[in-house]
Homo-oligomer: A and B are copies of this chain.
Amino acid sequence: MAIRTMLTESFGLDHPIVLAPMATVAGGHLAAAVSEAGGLGLVGGGYGDPAWLRRELSLARSRTARAWGVGFITWHASHDALALALSFEPHVVLLSFGDPRPYLPAIRAAGCRLICQVQDVDDARAAAAAGADFIVAQGAEAGGHGGERATLPLVPAIVDAVAPIPVLAAGGIADGRGLAAALALGAEGALIGTRFYAAEESLGHPGAKERIERAVGGDTVRTRIFDIVRGYRWPGPYTGRALRNRFLDRWHGREGALAERLDAEAPAFHAAVAEGRFDTAMVWAGEAVDLIAAVQPAAGIVTRVSAEAEHRLRAAADLLV
């Protein structure tokens, strides 16, 4: 038994599951593990650090013979970083948070598929017009950066707006029930982030994974403070969902004061990140942390989420009498 959708057919997958390209967390080992398990592993290209990209993309390519890819933060991407990534021959590039059009020619020339992740219906229409092969409707319950709309009403609105371009759902999905719901909404699969942050193969710090295991959804907050303290000028609509910690409790809602104290706060923050002190350093995490109870191997996550989705779809169909 397997779930077959336009996503699985397009990339030769066994399961309609995509690893969200979480910056610094979704490295080559994790991406390859997801792809080898029959999902689609995406390396988190993030802000485009060349040394990191070279190492992780090389790892991904060497560890899987199946489809894999790489994701970038569009507003921060560069033609150099993209060219470096394409030199490792990924099957797909995911672009999120900005206008994808400047990067389309290079992606097409490399024979790569383009997935655009969007956070509202207008950006979905723009991605469709730009020629995206798949569009990810990302809800605000997602961990890390995102927008303001919630997954459940956003997915069908975007399906209607961009048809017949296939849509994937992201945000709030950490088990097979979420995947089954995404398919019921009309998506062709799901992008899953936080659940894979807590995979054994992820590059997340063990202390961060432990916090994700223990956290509940109400512990997550959309905030700008971790961008401000790191010096990233994220455009207006995007905030990052992270676990509450001492730093967040201190600065969230006092963004102006934090910006004025960067000389003192930024070095201390970077030291906390380097030392894995998560009372200060951020742990990006989505609302679905309620559903994550243990760090597990990526392959087990892929097969369990997919099997549970199959079970849920059969059970839901059995409600029809």
Q: Do A183 and B316 touch across chains, with their CB atoms under 8 A apart?
A: yes
Query: CB < 8 Å: which of B141, B173, B180, B290 contacts A316?
Result: B180
Take A185-B180, A317-B313, A317-B317 as given contacts and tell me if A121 and B217 are in contact as well, using a CB distance cutoff of 8 Å.
yes
Q: Determine if A151 and B148 form an interchain contact, defined as CB atoms under 8 angstroms apart.
A: no
Task: Please report the C-alpha to C-alpha distance between residue A152 and residue B218 in the assembled complex, in whole angstroms.
Answer: 14
Chain A interface mostly: helix
Q: How large is the interface on A (under 10, 10 to 19, 20 to 34, 35 or more residues)?
A: 35 or more
Which residues in B have their C-beta under 8 angstroms from that of A162? Answer: none
Known contacts A152-B171, A183-B316, then 11 further A-B pairs from the complex at CB < 8 Å, ordered by chain A residue: A1-B320, A2-B320, A2-B321, A139-B152, A141-B153, A153-B172, A153-B288, A153-B290, A155-B177, A156-B175, A180-B316
| Contacts of A266-310 to chain B: CB distance below 8 A | 286-288, 290-291, 310
Say how far A248's CB is from chain B's closest CB, in angstroms. Answer: 15
Measured CB to CB, the closest approach of chain B to A249, in angstroms, equals 16
Which of A's residues lie within 8 Å of B, judged by CB? 1-5, 120-122, 139-141, 148-157, 160, 171-175, 177-178, 180-186, 216-218, 286-288, 290-291, 310, 312-314, 316-317, 319-321
